[in-house]
Amino acid sequence: MHKLVLIRHGESEWNKLNLFTGWTDVDLSARGVKEAARAGKILKEQDFDFDVVHTSLLKRAIHRMNSVLFELDREWLPIYKSWRLNERHYGALQGLNKAETAAKYGEDQVKIWRRSYNCPPPALEADDPRNPALQAQFRNIDPKNLPLTESLELTVARAVPYFEEKIKPAMEEGKRVLIVAHGNSIRALVKYFDNLAESEIVGVNIPTGVPLVYEFDDKMKAIKNYYLMDEEELKKQMEAVANQGKAK
Q: Is 87 a catalytic residue?
A: yes
CB 206 within 8 A of CB 10: no
Q: Is 232 a catalytic residue?
A: no
Query: What gap in Å lies between CA 220 and CA 226, rounded to an integer?
Result: 17
223's enclosing H/E stretch is: strand 222-227
Of 100, 37, 94, 97, which Cα lies nearest the Cα of 69? 37
Rounded to the nearest 10 degrees, how much is the dihedral formed by the CA atoms of 69, 206, 21, 182? 40
In the chain, the amino acid numbered 88 is: R
Q: Which of 9, 63, 89, 182 is catalytic?
A: 9
HSE-CB at 210 with a 13 A cutoff on CA atoms is 20
Q: Which of 54, 87, 89, 182 is catalytic?
A: 87
In the chain, the amino acid numbered 31 is: R
Backbone angles phi, psi at 8, to 5 degrees: -80, 135
Of 124, 125, 121, which Cα lies nearest the Cα of 110? 121
CB 91 within 8 A of CB 124: yes
Which of the residues are catalytic?
A: 9, 87
